[in-house]
Every structure is written in C-alpha cells, then in structure tokens.
C-alpha cells in the first residue's frame, strides 16, 4: 500500500488548497479500491 501511495504522491494535485482533504494520494487509493470492488457510480462509493 505504501508503494502505491508513493506513486500517487507524484501526481500533481490541482485542487484548491482550501478544499484539499483528504490528500490526493489517499483519495486515489480509495477510488482504486472502489473500482476493484466493482463500484461504478460515485454515489455508491460515498455510502
């Protein structure tokens, strides 16, 4: 997991600083996990 987080940290975060939470690497890991679980809708990931 740390190896994936390190790779994602190399991605430039274009969000406004005042709106950044969670950090981009953690958000990408959550999305990747959701996609691997078969979730296809953003709303399903939020539940």
Q: Is the pLDDT of residue 19 over 70?
A: no
Q: Is the pLDDT of residue 28 over 80?
A: yes
29 within 8 A of 4, measured Cβ to Cβ: yes
Residue indicated by tokens 């994602």: 8
Question: What does the alpha-carbon distance between residue 39 and residue 12 come to, in Å, rounded to a whole number?
Answer: 25
Report the pLDDT value the prediction gives residue 25, as an integer from 0 to 100.
79
Average pLDDT over residues 15-42: 80
Contacts of 20 (CB under 8 A, 6+ apart): 13
Return the HEC string of the chain.
CHHHHHHHHCCCCCCCHHHCCCCHHHHHHHHHHHHHCCCCCHHHHHC
Q: Is the pLDDT of residue 24 over 70?
A: yes
Q: Is the pLDDT of residue 5 over 70?
A: yes
Domain ranges, residue 38: 2-46
What is the tally of structural domains in the chain? 1
């Amino acid at each position: 997991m740390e190896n994936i987080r390190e790779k994602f940290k190399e991605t430039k975060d274009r969000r406004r600083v005042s709106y950044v939470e969670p950090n981009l690497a953690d958000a990408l890991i959550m999305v990747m996990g959701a996609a691997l679980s078969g979730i296809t809708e953003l709303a399903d990931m939020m539940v």
